[in-house]
Amino acid sequence: MSDMDAIQKGADAYDAGVKKSLAKFAERKERFVTGSKSPVERLYTPLNNAGQDYVRDIGFPGDYPYTRGVQNTMYRGRLWTMRQYAGFSTAEESNKRYKFLLEQGTTGLSVAFDLPTQIGYDSDHALSQGEVGKVGVAIDSLADMEILFNGIPLDKVSTSMTINAPASVLLAMYIAVAEKQGVKPDQLNGTIQNDILKEYVARGTYIFPPEPSMRLITDIFAYCSKEVPNWNTISISGYHIREAGATAAQEVAFTIADGVAYVDAAIKAGLDVDDFAPRLSFFFNAHNDLFEEVAKFRAARRVWAKIMKERFGAKSPKSWMLRFHTQTGGSTLTAQQPDNNIVRVAIQTLAAVLGGTQSLHTNSKDEALALPTEDSVRIALRTQQIVAYESGAAETVDPLAGSYYVESLTDRIQKEAEAYIARIDDMGGAVKAIERGYVQQEIQDAAYAYQMDIESGERVVVGMNKFQIKEAPPSGLLKVDPKVGEDQANKLRDLKAKRDNARVASSLEAVKLAATGGDNLMPPILDAVRAYATLGEICDVLRGVFGEYQQKVIL
Amino acid sequence: MERKIRVLVAKPGLDGHDRGAKVIARALRDAGMEVVYTGLRQTPEQIVAAALQEDVDVIAMSILSGAHNHLFPRVMDILRERNVQDILVIGGGVIPDDDIPALKAAGIAGVFTPGTPTSATIDFIKNNLKRSV
C-alpha cells in the first residue's frame, strides 16, 4: 500500500469518528472561514497537497520560486529592518521624532508627508488649509528637507519615503540634501513608494492622469539605474488596497497586476528588464489571520517570480525576487479598549516575520484615535524586538513550510490571485481595469461585506462588537499644533524673498521643456530643487503640461 | 407616499481614505435612502453647492486626516451664509473625543467615530431630520 493510500484510509477512519462526535456535539459554527472569508476545513493532511511538488513549488530559500524566502539564511543572517513610519507637524518636530526612533533601536527611517506635500501643494495653497502637518510632515522646499535630515547621516541610514505623484521631486530633494552632507547618490539607500496605480484605486493622492504618471515613474527607473543604483525605485503597494477592504488574495492579485503594468511600461520605454527589475520592491499588509497572512506572503513571492521569469523573460535572479516591506493592519485596530491593539499588532508582526518580510512597521495602539505618542510608538517597536529576540520565530528559515494547512492556503491564494491577474490581463492590464472601475468595485464589495459581517456579529471584533465595556474617553493623545500652517507659510515667504528667483524661473522652464518633450525629467527637477524651487511650483509646471486626473466615482 | 431621504456623502479636504464614506453610502442606500457621493477632495464650497443642487436632507462628511476642526465648521459657515437651515449635517472619521463638543457647537449634529455600526448612523439620521419627508 502506498503512503497516500494509507493516509486516505486513516482519513476515512477519522471522518467516521468525526461523524459520531458531531452526532453528539455540534461544532461551534456551521462554517469556518479565514479572515478573508475563504472556507477552512476541519483538518489538513498530505491529501490536501497531493498535487504539490516540493522542488518545483516550494523549493529552497534564496532560490526560485522563492516560496520560502528571498535570502538563503533569512533572519539568521540579518534581522528584518525595523522601520517605523513617522512624520508630523514641521521638519523640526519630525527630525526630533526620527532621532528618538534611532535612539530606541529602529534601523531605518520612514517618512510620512502631510497631504498637501503628497498632492504637490505648498503649505500656503488654499487647498492646504487645515491639512498642513496633520498626517505627516510638511515639506515645501529643499530648505525643509535639510532640517528634516539635520544630523542624520544619509550614508548610514536607509530611508523610505511614502510619496507617489510627486516622488521625483522628493527624491531629488533627498539627493540634494545628501550632496550637502558630502554623500554621493550611489551611497544612498532607501525607497520611494512611487506607486501611482494604487493611488487611483485605494489611497487617493494622485495628481496627474495615468499616462504621464507612468512616464514619471519610468523616468525614475531609468535615472536611478544609472545614478542611484541602490535605491528601491518603487514600492508596489498592496497595503492600501487591503486597508480599503480587499481580501488577502485580492491584495496579492491587484498589487502584482500593478507590478506587471509598471514592468510593461518600463519595457515599452526602452529599458531592459534586468536593469530595473532588481530595484522593484513591494509593500504588503499584515492582518490578524496568522496562517492566511503567512500563506499570502509566500504565495506572492511565487506568483511574482513566475511572472518575471516566464512572462517577462528576466534572466537575473534578482529580477525574480519579490522583496517586501510590511505594515501591520491599521484597519484592524479598534478605538474601543485600545490596549487590545497591542495584541493584534503582535500577531500581525509574527505573521510578517513568518512570511519572510524584509522590513516592518508596527502600528501603535492609539492609531484608531490619533497620531501615535512616543510611548505608544515605543511599545510598537518593542513588539518587533520581542518577536525578533524572544519568540524564536527568527531562528530558522520559513518555519511554517510543510504545514499541511499553510501549504494548502499558499496554493489557494496563488490560484485565486492568478485568476484575477488573468481577468485583468483580459481587460488590457491594470491601467485599463482601473479606468473601468473594476478593481475599485471588487475592493468596495469586499469592504461592504466585511462591515456587514461585523454588524451581524458573524465576525467578532473583541471589544467592539463583543466583550464591550464602558470606558472613559482616552487621554494623552498627540495633537498637532494648528499653527503649523501659518509657520510654514511664513517660512515660504522668507524663502521666496531670499532665493535667486531668476535661477528658479529658468530651472522651472527647463522642467517644462523636458515634460513637453521626452527627456528624462529627473535632471531638470534636481536642478530646480537645488535652486530652492518649491514642491508646489514644480508640480504646477507639471500640472500645466500633463493636466490633472479626474477621479472615477464608483459606489 | 413618503419620499425617500436624500443624503450627500462627502469627502472634504485632501484625505483619500474613502472606505468608510463608501460603506456608509451603501448602507444608507440599503436602508432606503437616496445617496449621492461626491468623490474625493471636495472643498466646503463644493460640498454646499452639491447639497443645494441635489436638494438633500442630509450632508454626511467623512475625514480621517485630522482636518475636521477646520473643514467641518467651514461647511456650517457657508450654509449659514446661504441661509440654509434645514439640512442635517453629520460627520465621521478619526475624530478625538476632545474635538467633538466644539464641532457640535458649530452645528455638526452628530459625530461618529471608528467602530460605530452603520445602523447607529441610519437611526440618527431618521430621528434628527430637519425637514419632514
Tens-place pLDDT, residues A82-113: 999 998 899 999 999 999 999 998 888 999 99
Domain annotation covers residue A491: no
Query: Looking at the complex, does the CB of residue B36 fall below 8 Å from at least one CB of chain A?
Result: no
Query: Average pLDDT of chain B?
Result: 96
Domain annotation covers residue B41: yes
pLDDT band at A36 (very low <50, low <70, confident <90, very high): very high
Q: Do B97 and A473 touch (CB under 8 A)?
A: yes
**What's the rounded mean pLDDT across residues A309-318?**
98
Domain annotation covers residue B52: yes
Residues sharing a CB contact under 8 Å with residue A308, sequence separation 6 or more, in sequence order: A263, A273, A277, A314, A319, A320
Total domains, chain A: 1
Q: Please state the ipTM of this predicted complex.
A: 0.95
Q: Do A130 and B113 touch (CB under 8 A)?
A: no
Distance from CA of A105 to the nearest CA of B (A): 28
Is residue B2's pLDDT more than 80?
no
Query: Looking at the complex, does the CB of residue B46 fall below 8 Å from at least one CB of chain A?
Result: no
The pLDDT value recorded for residue B85 is 95
CATH number, domain containing residue A227? 3.20.20.240
Question: Percent of chain A, pLDDT > 90?
Answer: 94
Q: Do A451 and B23 touch (CB under 8 A)?
A: yes
The pLDDT value recorded for residue A68 is 98
pLDDT band at B1 (very low <50, low <70, confident <90, very high): low
Domain of A439 in residue numbering reads as 54-456
Backbone φ and ψ for A189, nearest 5 degrees, come out as -125, 135
Domain annotation covers residue A541: no
Can you say how many angstroms the Cα of residue A443 is from the centroid of all Cα atoms in its chain? 17
Q: Do A335 and B113 touch (CB under 8 A)?
A: yes
- Digit-coded pLDDT (tens) for A237-283: 999 999 999 999 999 999 999 999 999 999 999 999 999 999 999 99
The pLDDT value recorded for residue A416 is 98
Backbone φ and ψ for B95, nearest 5 degrees, come out as -125, 115
Domain annotation covers residue B1: no
Facing B22 at nearest CB: one of A121, A135, A555: A555
Domain annotation covers residue A58: yes
Total domains, chain B: 1
Domain annotation covers residue A397: yes
Query: Average pLDDT of chain A?
Result: 96
The pLDDT value recorded for residue A25 is 96
Domain annotation covers residue B133: no
- Digit-coded pLDDT (tens) for A479-525: 888 899 999 999 999 999 999 999 999 999 999 999 999 999 999 99
Is residue B112's pLDDT more than 80?
yes
**What's the rounded mean pLDDT across residues A341-355?**
98
CA angle (B68 as vertex; B65, B73 as ends), nearest 5 = 160
A107: Cα within 13 Å, side-chain hemisphere: 11
- Digit-coded pLDDT (tens) for A438-482: 999 999 999 999 999 999 999 999 999 999 999 998 888 888 888
Task: Give A294-317 as a 3 state SS string.
Answer: HHHHHHHHHHHHHHHHHHCCCCCH
Helix (H, G, I), strand (E, B) or coil at A339: coil
Cell of A19: 461523524
Domain annotation covers residue A283: yes
CATH number, domain containing residue B77? 3.40.50.280
- Digit-coded pLDDT (tens) for A369-416: 888 999 999 999 999 999 999 999 999 999 999 999 999 999 999 999
The pLDDT value recorded for residue A476 is 85
Domain annotation covers residue B107: yes
Is residue B34's pLDDT more than 80?
yes
Domain of B103 in residue numbering reads as 6-128
